[in-house]
Amino acid sequence: MRWTVGLETYSDPSRAGVAKYLRIESDILAAIKDGSLKPGDKLPGQSEMCSRYGVSAITVRKAFADLIGDGYLVGIKGSGTYVAKRQMIRGLTSISFSEELREQGYEIGMLVDAISSGSNPVAARHLGLDEAAEFTRVARVRIANDEPVAFHVSYVPSSLLTAEQAQGLQEIGSFYDMLARYNIFPQLVNENYSVRTIDDLHVCSALGVGEDYPSFFVRRTTFDQDNVAVEYGETYFNKDWYSVTVNIRA
């Protein structure tokens, strides 16, 4: 680890009136921002931090607890405190998840997992169709900065998109660009968020996590410009990579 701090930090007169725990937090955040501390780096232990800063253990614990609560650090019992992975922040401002991530500076990729056709009672219920209705099922893994972060499964009525047409997804690179090619233009989505453990071993393998790993589980129903439901989707998001921010105005 290249990050170093010490008592000399406090020689700056401009910091004289700043609470000690805030000084520690400021130094850690600055090191994360400039890349001196990277995701997965282990911070010095409590005793070393006390010695470096000339503060009590309570002060160090306060600084670490604040940064853990804000998502910058993660504490592992019996191991130590580490820099957390940078989370993707979903602002719920765009239908396209990829578009939001690109705006945050992520390099986005996708791997098509499977494309098939058949009935699905859950999808039929959400789209208001007969249970025997046939769907094209498109499963894919979302990649961000070379890490698998989400497993998406979309169901589109086969009358709108056939499995054969969906085979072009990997080349096109975007599910919604592919829909547009076949005159399907999503305009509105309804999403339901919950926490669910992943019990499907195939999904666990695709995301590189263990069985019963807790995840953000999202159900999505997508509507076109005529307010017709055109897609039902289910997504498992890796909880270590994903967070949601919602702005509420009084």
Per-residue exposure over 87-104, b if at least 16 CB sit within 10 Å of its own CB, e if not? bbebeeeeeebbebbeee
pLDDT tens for each residue of 44-87: 988 999 988 889 999 999 999 988 887 788 888 888 898 887 65
Sole residue written with tokens 């998840």: 97
- The structural domains of the chain, ordered by start, are 7-83 (1.10.10.10), 88-244 (3.40.1410.10)
Asked whether residue 34 carries a pLDDT value surpassing 60, the answer given is: yes
DSSP string, 109-176: EEEEEEEEEEE-HHHHHHHT--TT-EEEEEEEEEEETTEEEEEEEEEEETTTS-HHHHTTHHHH--HH
Residue 148's nearest CA partner among 225, 227, 209 is 209
Contact present, 119 and 229 (Cβ < 8 Å) = no
Please give the pLDDT value at position 11.
Answer: 41
Helix (H) or strand (E) holding 189: strand 186-198
CA distance 90 to 92: 6
Contact present, 208 and 248 (Cβ < 8 Å) = no
Contact present, 97 and 142 (Cβ < 8 Å) = yes
Q: How confident is the model at residue 245 (pLDDT cuts 50, 70, 90)?
A: low
Residue 166 token pair: 């969906």
Distances (CA, A) of 244 to 33, 84, 100, 197, 241: 21, 16, 12, 18, 11
pLDDT tens for each residue of 173-224: 889 899 999 999 999 989 898 999 999 999 999 999 998 999 989 999 999 9
Please give the pLDDT value at position 13.
Answer: 45
CA distance 10 to 90: 37
Please give the pLDDT value at position 1.
Answer: 43
